[in-house]
Amino acid sequence: MSQNSNNARQNALDYHEHPIPGKTATALTKPTATAHDLALAYSPGVAEPVRAIAADPADAYRYTNKGNLVGVISDGSAILGLGNLGALASKPVMEGKALLFKKFANIDAVDLEIGTQDPAEFIETVRRLGPSFGGINLEDISAPRCFEIERALIESMDIPVFHDDQHGTAIIIAAALTNALRLQGKSLDDIRLVLVGAGAAGTATLNLLSDMGLNRARLRVVDRVGVLHTELDDLPSHHADVAAETDDRTLEDALKGADVFIGLSAPNLLTPDMLMSMNERPIVFALANPDPEIRPELAHSVRDDLIMATGRSDYPNQVNNVLAFPFIFRGTLDCRASRITPAMKIACVEALAALAREPVPASVLSAYGAADLSFGPEYILPKPFDPRLIERLPPAVAAAAAADGVARMPYRPYPNATGA
């Protein structure tokens, strides 16, 4: 390991350990200085909201933190791109998601790592947690189990359930691709798209892009077995749905002449030769975390006509679901939507893509130490610290919820929604 990577590793461990272990804690929102305060907060005063909620369950949103509390829940079966390392090892990521919910949308989030990888047990555990939360954010659960788990929870719970790796990722890729295609002078209905990694994120991304007009006839999807094609037997249904009638068998075959590469798989799968074989003005989203399918410095050394993005914060064009989940949940909670519909996701895509095409405020330039940021190959999405995200995305999501008939109250922005 080089000195630089040793330092980076130690810095990350120190950040998590000091001054106290972990990244989140509980904060109090009511006075607790006197005996009178305690008599209100606890016995006897607490009995009043208990009685009110027993009489009308909607009062839980009035008298408790339910309406601004999201459960960030994982079984640790697909932690970032690190694989199935189990529930306990997923805790830093889930605390991290809770930190991002608070920082960017002032949503209180609790990380819950569930000690089972049996889908039925997991579903039952999460379902029983429903009364506590205003919404459930599922995280880092591998495919295909994640599809069954999310579907069962959406059907059985009365609060929104959202698998971030599926839909948060799909939203942000769709927004980034909208802008990258515009810059490269290409369009969704005739590009040749190659997607590697037909798991949770890859499958949801293809579904959302299809809703937005992707030409599926020109799509090639690659997983561990190579190109998913119609002559393969016994494919799981999420692979059979995207199998192509083609003679292409390898990633190398599929990429010849392709316009777009989307990687949601594993490190270093895209070689310089493969990149060279792509069509002119290609788009490369190498989104495996933390190590992408190709490093930007290598990709840029191979060709100068590409638009390149990764999931990381330390390169231009971060395509990461942090730009979606805090804001889509903010809009969803603030109109008490019962579920998150395709139209709510597309509203988020359009608001994100449009924001990147506007001039960037000085506060964002100074947060990133940049003299200039403007719509172009190195700036296809807003930055997470952009204060306009919280102003634009939640109302757009809530308006779509109202139009879809899933909002259970008029949109009311949460106080101080810009967060910590």
Evaluated on CA atoms 236, 266, 10, 319, the torsion sign reads negative
Q: Decide: helix, strand or coil at residue 328.
A: helix
Distance from C-alpha of 352 to C-alpha of 330, rounded to nearest angstrom: 15
Binding status of residue 140 toward Mg ion by CB under 5 A: yes
Distance from C-alpha of 26 to C-alpha of 325, rounded to nearest angstrom: 21
Binding status of residue 337 toward ligand NDP by CB under 6 A: no
Please give the residues from 270 up to 299 whose contact with ligand NDP meets the rule CB under 6 A: 287-289
Distance from C-alpha of 400 to C-alpha of 406, rounded to nearest angstrom: 9
N-to-C CA span, the chain: 36
Please give the residues from 70 up to 99 whose contact with ligand CC(=O)C(=O)O meets the rule CB under 6 A: 80
Binding status of residue 76 toward ligand NDP by CB under 6 A: no
Binding status of residue 165 toward Mg ion by CB under 5 A: yes
Nearest distance in Å: CB 164, ligand CC(=O)C(=O)O: 6
**Which CB atom, from 86 or from 413, has the smaller least distance to Mg ion?**
86
Please tell me which residue in 61, 63, 66, 97 is annotated as part of the active site: 97
Contact yes or no for 205/169 (Cβ under 8 A): yes
Looking from the CA of 2 toward its CB, the CA atoms found within 13 Å total 3
Nearest distance in Å: CB 155, ligand NDP: 21
Contact yes or no for 140/93 (Cβ under 8 A): yes
**Which CB atom, from 126 or from 201, has the smaller least distance to ligand NDP?**
201
| Whether residue 97 lies in the annotated active site | yes
Binding status of residue 170 toward ligand NDP by CB under 6 A: no
Binding status of residue 214 toward ligand NDP by CB under 6 A: no
Nearest distance in Å: CB 288, ligand CC(=O)C(=O)O: 8
Nearest distance in Å: CB 305, ligand NDP: 23
Binding window for Mg ion (CB under 5 A); candidates: 40-48, 68-76, 98-106, 140-148:
140-148
Distance from C-alpha of 204 to C-alpha of 163, rounded to nearest angstrom: 10
**Which CB atom, from 184 or from 320, has the smaller least distance to ligand CC(=O)C(=O)O?**
320
| Whether residue 368 lies in the annotated active site | no
Distance from C-alpha of 398 to C-alpha of 330, rounded to nearest angstrom: 9
Contact yes or no for 222/258 (Cβ under 8 A): no
Nearest distance in Å: CB 43, ligand CC(=O)C(=O)O: 42
Of the candidate residues 18, 30, 51, 224, the single one contacting ligand NDP (CB under 6 A): 224
Distance from C-alpha of 111 to C-alpha of 205, rounded to nearest angstrom: 25
Distance from C-alpha of 136 to C-alpha of 157, rounded to nearest angstrom: 10
The catalytic residues are 42, 97
